[in-house]
Structures are given as structure tokens and as C-alpha cells.
Amino acid sequence: MDKLDDSVETLPGVKESRRALNFESGCRQVGLVLLLIIVISAVLGFFSDGYFSSAQKTNSVRTLNVDYERFGRLQMEFKYHFKIHSPDTDNYTLSLGGAFTEGFQPGNISPQPDKMYSRGERLYLVYENVKTKGDFSVWMYATPTRPGKLVTAVQVNNEPELHFWQFIYP
């Protein structure tokens, strides 16, 4: 939009500030660009589900894989999918630590664990006598209880830990 100049006639009884009108015009232009950046970021997943939010990590010995969302909002449920690749045993102990016990409230877990307890800063899910052949999957829903960057540590059957981060918007 062109800047207003002083040669334009004004209406009688109306006192206009050219500086204020130019400032408003600039804000409109910047506001449109800012709005487009926010909308495109949301579509791409910078605030919740989307291309940049969906993530997958695997531990160093490839016995545990987790699918999760990197970005989310406070009090909105997250979905975790833990895939355990351990054909040698039919007993699994999945433990979650780090910021998980402080920053998340666990919800629905499928399949239900045979035992579930917490010790110190870790939550343990124990599955005994699992009869499935191949990979074993656990789906968990958890709600964040505090904003910020939270780093979770996951471990299965004393294998190496898997660490992943999530950013929770207020």
C-alpha cells in the first residue's frame, strides 16, 4: 500500500494523522505475513499432529521403537506406540523415566499390563507370558501436565535406553 502524502485533501472536521495512518498500513502488511506464517506452521505440524511433529525413534540395539508427536499442547492427549522386537522372551518390562513421570499423566494403555507400578522417577509396565509371535506393541495415551521441552527415557527388559524430546505449548 502506498504511503499517504500531505497533498491529499482531508474531510472538513476530520483531523487525520499521516504518521498513524502509515503505521496502520504497515501493521496490516506485516500482520498478513505473520498470519500466513502461523497458518502454514500449524498445517506442517509445528503445534501438533503433522509432518514436522510425527517422529519415530529406535534404541541402539533395535529392540525398541517408539512413534510419538514432537509438538503438542498442554492438557491435550498424546499417543505413543511402543514396538518391542525381542523374540527370545515372552516377558516384557517397559519402563518410562526422565520427564515422563513429572510432566505427563498416563491414560489408556493397550494391552493392559499385568502389573504397573512406579519406583523413584520411573513408571514400569510389566507384561508376563505374552503369547504373540514377532513384535509386541503397546499403545499408550498420556496428557502433558506442564509446558516446555520434556525429555523422556524408555527402556525395555534392561536393554539400552531410548531418549526422545517433546515440546509442550501452554
Together in a domain, 103 and 26: no
Within a domain: residue 81?
Answer: yes
For 53-73, what is each residue's pLDDT tens digit? 788 999 999 999 999 999 888
Q: 119: burial class by Cβ within 10 Å (0-12, 13-18, 19+)? A: exposed
Together in a domain, 7 and 86: no
Within a domain: residue 75?
Answer: yes
Q: Could you give the CA distance from residue 90 to residue 76 in angstroms, rounded to a whole number?
A: 33
Within a domain: residue 49?
Answer: no
Report the predicted TM-score, pTM, of the whole model to 2 decimal places: 0.74
Together in a domain, 59 and 25: no
Within a domain: residue 140?
Answer: yes
Q: Could you give the CA distance from residue 75 to residue 144 in angstroms, rounded to a whole number?
A: 6
Together in a domain, 96 and 125: yes
Q: Could you give the CA distance from residue 30 to residue 39 in angstroms, rounded to a whole number?
A: 14
For 97-156, what is each residue's pLDDT tens digit? 999 999 999 999 999 999 999 998 999 999 998 887 778 999 999 999 999 999 999 999
- Host domain of residue 94: 54-169
